[in-house]
Structures are given as structure tokens and as C-alpha cells.
Structure 1
Amino acid sequence: MDIKISTLEISASAVKLVVGYELEGSPYVLYANKVALSQAVSAGEIIAPDQVINAIKVLTADVRDTLGEAISEVVLALPTIDFEVFRGTQTTNTLSSKIDRIDIKNIMALFRKNRVDPNKVIVAILPQVFKTESEQVYRLLPLGEVSNTLTVEAFLHVLPIWIYNSYIETVQKAGLKVRKVYPDKYALTELLNSPASATNTYFLVDFGAKQTSITFVSNHNLYFSRIINEGSDDLTYLLAQKFGLELKEADRLKKDFGLDHRNVSVNFPLATGIGERGEEIKVFLSDIYTTCQAFLTSHLQKVLSEIKIVGKSQNMPNLNKYPLLFVGGGSTIYNYEEIIGSDRSFPDKYIVKLDTIGARDLTYAVNLGLIKAYSKYAQDIGDEKASIGTLTRS
């Protein structure tokens, strides 16, 4: 669907802006850029809003200079914290005895009136089934069908009001309107949702900078998400502390070499750090490899342990029949395949590779998923005409 969409993600590592559209099920990118953040977001909470606001303003100015036109509103990703999924059903009388877009708009309004928790808000309504009064079932909105009623069964994504309000307020203070919001993990599942997908049921592991999330997806629907408070930045801190390096240098070594253990003809130091007593510490390729290997192996075991805990709590036998799909910056560490390949408890593990025109970097995976999610919504329900704002508890 050729609608130009501006998408925004505020993550722990950066504010990311992508402008693009969907064509034949794939997102096409016209603009993609990010501004790094320094401890502005902690565990999903924006703790330095001024830094985030300034980053958004930098990006909006840059996109105006790059594309020659300003953006005024965005589709926004929200962190999947204290996330819940509900099923809901609503019925409305059609206005003209034929199903029209106004009828689905009325249905969506009915869903939104249901407050499942006084401290939470429905952030996304995802229709699964449409029914006429004759009980005829459709997967897509049956526009023009003769019926006095329209019934919709949908998944409802729910997040805390404080997350919803704080993110929207920050974006608004940067001078942008928010057209629609989606949980970030739902956006990722939409990016992976295509007819060519090898599987539609899997665990999605998002190895981020500050946190790692584990999301269970069944038939392309997001069911629950858990978080481990450890990310790829922790490996950067470990390298910096162990070898007396500046964080910037430690991050470079992690990204450029990671799990590189090739035999080199000349064993020379790749960096030099300063120890606690002021002594010089030479850092060799083997040092980087052993440090990264130990950290990443331990991290993977934490992920697998969390999946097993979730499996028991959700009564899910035979967990290892589900593939594990890895995304996020941590999964792009050089030769990360070696780590996931070393575990045999889950035989099917993959690092997601993007095939997207204009942005093949996993850094923008959430933004790309937002493009697909909103395009799908606009096609099924209709393009939003008004922006959304903050809420108060009721």
C-alpha cells in the first residue's frame, strides 16, 4: 500500500526515524537515520526527556533537508513493558444495511471504551475475524456486504498508561503529532510476517543494548513478552573494565572483532588500555574473543533459562520444537552464529536477515515493522485522520 509513513522508535541506545512505504508486502525506505542517546532511557522509562526531544528535533530537521519536505506526525513504537494481550468481541448495527468503513470505525471505538485496567490502556486493536449477521466469516473487512450487523473478534494489546503518556508527551514536545502507536515487539513480528516466512510460530529474541526481550509468537500473533535486564552494552562495559579501555574503543572492538578467532600471521595488539595501577594493557584478538565468548555464552543460557521458565508457567510442553529468531544489535556482533550454534537444546535458531530496500540494518527493524503494521491497519480499517494524545486515569 503506497502510503508514505514516518515511524519513530525511542530505544535505550538511540532515537530512530524511518520514512518509507509498503509495496507488495515489503517496506521500502526513503530515509533512515538515528541519534545516539546517553542514559536517556532506562528500562523503558524516559528519564532525560530533553535529550530525547533534542534528538527528535535533529532528525526532523535532517529529514526535511534530505527529502525536501517536513514531517508533522509519526507512527510511534512503545516499549513492551508490563505488556498484556486480551481477546475481545464487539458488534455494531450497520448504518445502511451494508458494511461500510464507518461501521468498523464504530467497532474500534467500542473496543477502546473498554478499560481492562484503570492503570492501563489499549494501544493496539488487531482484528482477526469479521462476521456478518448470517455468521459468514471473513478475514478481511467485507466492505459492501449486505448485513444489518458487523461483529469483529480482535486481539487487544495493552500497556501501562504511564508508558503511553510519557512517550507521546515527549514526541509532542518535540513538535510532532502521533498518528498511531504500536508495541515495539508487535512491530518486529509484523516485519517477520510474510508468505515467504519459514515459520509463523516462534520465540523472538531481541538482543538490545540495555535489555533482551523474549517474545512468543504463534500464527504471527504476539502472545507474551519477557525481559532480561542485560544487553550488548554490558559486554562493552566488561571489555572496557577488563582491559582499561574507553567505552568508545571497547564498543569498536566488540563490533569489529567480536568472536573473530582467525589465525593471524602476526600477533599484534588491536588496542592498548590502562590498568588500575597505570600499567599498559595490550589487547589482542584472542583477548577479545575469549571475553566475548564467555559473556555471550552466559547470555544465551540466561535466554534459554527464561524460555524454559515461561514454558512451565504457560503449560507449553516440547518447547524445543519452536525456532528461536534473533534480532537486535547484539545479534550482529561478528560471528554471533558461533554462540547460538553451540547450543543443542533448541535445534532451530536463526539470526534474522533483512531484505528491505533502503535499510538492511537490523538497527531499524522496529521502524520497518511499524511501516508494515500501519499499512496493514490503513488497508483493513482506514487511514487515521486525527492524531492521538495523552490520557488520564479514570
Structure 2
Amino acid sequence: MEKPIAAIELGSKKLKLVVGYELDGQVYVIYTLVKPYGQCIDAGVFSDESKISATIASIREFTDPLAKLRINISDVLLCLPPYNLGIYQTRQVTTVVTEDSKISPLDIKNIYALIRNSAYPLNEKALVDVVPESFTLDHGRIFARAPMGESSSTLTVSAKVQTLPKALVDSYQNVLLNGGVVSRRFVVAPLAAVELISSYDNMPHSYILVDIGSNITTVSFIGNGALYGSTYFSWGSDHITERIIEKFNINEADAEKYKMMYGIDNRVMNFKVPICSVDDGAGREIKHFNNELNAIIKSELDIFVKNINQAVDSIVLQHDKSYRSFPMLLIGGGAELNGLEAYLAPKVLSESVQVIRPKNLGARNGTFFNCLGMLLANAKYLNVNDESHTKAGNLTRNPGK
């Protein structure tokens, strides 16, 4: 079995962990975990770093008797949100260094060093990742993956360089370090999602990717399997929960339960059964019905639709307005709402709307989407910030006692 790797995403209110490995382009899951820490992150800004670090520290070593696992984590793949993501095209050429002129790991290391040191303006940005698009050798031979062992006097790489605000990267890295865990590498969330989607059959190559979180939604433009840009807005599935709490006067747990149990339920019933009954504070029982829940959810989704259409326009019109009709793929925990596809389809310009759920055994909840994709991205692309480019890890899996 391949050596397992831990992948972590820090959401607005909870940590998401997947432990697994990549083999032949597929992710195999060993363990998953969701651990809440409360509302501690808002659009990449930490309000309580110590609470998140304590949550990270709590998962460094743990035993799951039910799964017969003891897991020790010292380094992880860390998912970064695409807030103010910069994507730049680069093309670098290096001379092959081996005596027999065959492409070796050293040549790949050299080309990544050139990319790392190339003179594009970073300013207050941090280099996060490099996604190679093609490797070109003598006589115009082009490869999609690193052409190890092929003969050539030169190696040319065309790639997309991804940057994020340095302050954002530093804050995520520091909260991890303060939890006693090192970041093996960073992966931007939409890149991770693209890699997971690409691993499934019958998926489009060009689309609008919408990742619905609890408080933030990100919208990304994918063209021919490549990430071209990303934006975000402040709306998430918790906005629906908050409106249900407000209108029904119930607690958060019940509001979340009814939201996920019913969603948008347009079934025609011969009789009306209340969803819940509450005391109005004066000893009178107030009953709430499905049509009320539908109205609450739809009113929030109308705000969501307006934001989505604005986000799609802002990101797609940088390229070609016809791209607005690309299929829309919905991912993330917020995409699990029943009836979401049917409600959005006539309200957006995309030719189709589809919720994509993880198909990987052991992690089929949408909340793990980006963590699964990170495992694929890590196996596919070298880490531009790892100057050694060695494959080493400190995560162990032992049978539980």
C-alpha cells in the first residue's frame, strides 16, 4: 500500500481531515474526520487562532477503536482558500544536465527553481503552486506529464503560477504550526476540486465551479481542465439556517435538521403535517408547515442566485461572455441541500446545473471534496516550494490495540 498522507481543510467553523493515498489516479480513503471549533474564520481572517490550533493539536495523535486505527500526524497537505488568487502564465527553458541527455529528476528540479526565481512581481503575494501544462523536448515533442527518461538537450515547461496574499498564507501556516503540525505543501481549494472532478467519468472539461461553504461561496472558472480564475462572496448554507431559527424560533440544531431533511420540498400533499411545533412564549402552540420552510429557503436562495450571477460575470467576462453558458458544478457541504439543482437551473445562464458528490468509498460527503482532491494534486504536481522535491512523510498507520 502507498504511504498514507493527511489532508486538512480549515473551514469557517470546522476542521476537515482525510487520511488516504493516491494510486493510479484514484484516491483511497483510510480515515475521515470533521471536528468543529465554532465560528473562527471569516473569509480567510482568523478571529480565534488559539482555538483552531488547539483543534489541530487534538488530532495529531488519536486512536479510533472502531476503525482499529492509531494515527500519528506530523505533516499535512493544507487547503488554502482562493481569496484574491492570482494566476500567471510562465514559460521556462533549461538545459538537460545528464551526460546521456535524458530527462532526470534533477532537470525537473532545475526547471522548478527557474520558475521559483523568475522575475514576475510578487510584492505582497506568496508563491503557492505551479501547475505544468506541457513539457516540450527537442523536435517539438510535447508531453502532459514530466517526460522522465526521454532524450533531449533542452526541457521547456509552460505552466500556470498560483499566488495568494502573503498575509493569508502566513496566517494559515502559523495556525498549523502552533498546533504542532507542519505543512507538507499548500493546495488551493479549486485546484484540488478540479483534480477530483477530473478523476471521475463523464465530467465536463470546461465549467463554472461553485463551492458552497457554511459562510462563504467561491466561484471558479475552469477551461479545458485548467483553473483560470476564482472569486468569492459572503453567503453560505448557514444563512438559510439562521433564517429558519429566526422565523421558527427554534434552536440551531433543529433548524439545521429541518433544512437538510426537507430542503426545497415541492411535493403536493393531500393533508398538511406540521414540520414542528413551538411555544410562542405565552403558552400557545405555533405550528410551522412545509410551505413556510420552502418560502424561507427560497428567499435566501434568491440572494444566493443574485450573487452567483454577479460572480460568474466578473470572472468569465475577463475571457469571453459566451463562457457563462458553461455547465455549473456545485460542490461542498452547502450543495447537499435537497432541490438545489432544480431551483438554480432556470435562474442561471449555465446550460446545466449539477451537484457533484465525492464517489470515493469512505468519504462520500461533499464536505470532504477538497481534501480528497488535494491527495490527487499532490501526487500529480511537484511542490514548487519544496527545494529538495524528495518524497518523505511522517504519517504512520498502525493497527489499534
TM-score relative to the length of structure 2: 0.88
Q: Give the match for residue 76 of structure 1.
A: 78
SS at match of 1:21: strand
1:350-373: per-residue Cα shift (whole Å, max 9, x none)?
A: 111321121111110000000111
Shift of 1:263: 4.3
Distance 1:280 1:48, change over 3 A: farther
Aligned with 1:375 (options 367, 371, 379) = 379
Residue 359 of structure 2 corresponds to residue 362 of structure 1: no
C-alpha distance after superposition, 1:52-72 (max 9, x if no partner): 112212333336765223121
Partner of 2:251: 246
Asked if structure 2 preserves the Cα contact closer than 8 Å seen for 1:245 and 1:273, the reply is yes
SS of aligned partner of 1:174:
coil
Q: Which residue of 1 aligns with 2:158?
A: 153
Task: Give, as a single letter, the amino acid of the residue that structure 1 aligns with 2:82.
Answer: T
Sort the Cα spacing of 1:315 and 1:73 in 2 relative to 1 into closer, same or farther, 3 A: closer
Tell me what 1:392 maps to: none
User: What code does the residue aligned with 2:226 have?
Assistant: N
Aligned residue runs from structure 1 range 221-240, under 5 A: 221-240=226-245
Partner of 2:133: 128
| 1:12-48 Cα deviation digits (max 9, x unpaired) | 1310110011233221110001111311101112221
Correspondence list, 1:102-181, <5 A: 102-114=106-118, 116-181=121-186
Deviations 1:199-239 (A, max 9, x none): 10000011111011110001111011111111111111111
Q: Measured at CA, do residues 241 and 341 of structure 1 come closer, stay the same or move farther in structure 2, by a change above 3 Å?
A: same
CA distance in 2 between counterparts of 1:286 and 1:143 reads 61
Which whole-Å CA distance do the structure 1 matches of 2:295 and 2:349 have between them?
A: 23
What is the CA–CA distance in structure 2 between the aligned matches of 1:276 and 1:305, rounded to whole Å? 42
Matches within 5 A, 1:295-334: 295-312=300-317, 314-334=318-338
Q: CA deviation at 1:144?
A: 2.1
Count of matched residue positions in the alignment of Structure 1 and Structure 2? 386
Find the residue that maps to 1:68 and give its secondary structure: strand
Instruction: Report the AA paired with residue 46 of structure 1.
Output: F
Structure 1: gaps spanning 5 or more residues = 388-394
Q: Residue 50 of structure 1 aligns to which amino acid in structure 2? A: S
Query: Counterpart of 2:41?
Result: 41
| Alpha-carbon distance in structure 1 between the residues aligned to 2:224 and 2:175 | 34
Q: TM-score, normalised by structure 1?
A: 0.90
Asked whether 1:220 is paired with 2:222, we answer no
Change (3 A) 1:22 1:385: closer
Pairwise CA distance, 1:151: 1.9
Provide the residue aligned with 1:258 in structure 2: 263
Distance 1:174 1:146, change over 3 A: same
Tell me how far apart the structure 2 counterparts of residues 328 and 53 of structure 1 sit (CA, whole Å): 23
| Superposed counterparts of 1:258-297, under 5 Å | 258-264=263-269, 267-273=272-278, 280-297=285-302
CA contact (8 A) 1:3 1:22 kept: no
RMSD of aligned alpha carbons: 2.6
Alpha-carbon separation, structure 1, partners of 2:145 and 2:250: 56
Q: 2:187 is matched with which residue? A: 182
Q: Tell me how far 1:264 sits from its aligned partner.
A: 4.7
CA contact (8 A) 1:15 1:37 kept: yes
Q: Distance in 1 between matches of 2:63 and 2:188?
A: 24
Q: Distance in 2 between matches of 1:274 and 1:84?
A: 52
Cα separation, partners in 2 of 1:378 and 1:92, compared to 1, 3 Å:
closer
Query: One-letter code of the match for 2:34?
Result: K
Change over 3 Å in CA distance of 1:174–1:344 after alignment to 2: closer
Cα deviation code 1:157-209 (max 9, x no counterpart): 11011111111111111111111111111111111113723310000011111
SS at match of 2:60: helix
In 1, the alpha carbon distance for the partners of 2:57 and 2:267 equals: 44
The corresponding residue for 2:5 is 5
Identity %: 28
Provide the residue aligned with 2:397 in structure 1: none
Match of 1:86 among 72, 85, 88: 88
1:22 aligns with 2:36: no
Retained in 1: the 8 A contact 2:134–2:159?
Answer: yes
Q: Moved runs in structure 1, 4+ residues, more than 6 A?
A: 276-279
Aligned equivalents of 2:162, 2:218: Cα separation in 1: 17
In 2 relative to 1, CA 160–277 (structure 1 residues): closer, same or farther, beyond 3 Å? farther
Distance 1:275-1:213 versus aligned 2 partners, 3 A rule: farther
Q: Deviations over 1:256-300 (max 9, x none)?
A: 112124345653433334658886543222211221122223312
CA contact (8 A) 1:8 1:18 kept: yes
Decide whether the 8 Å contact of 1:243 with 1:274 is kept in 2: no
SS at match of 1:20: strand
Question: 1:124, 1:157 within 8 Å by CA — same for their partners in 2?
Answer: yes
Segments of structure 2 that go 5 or more residues without pairing to the other structure are 395-401
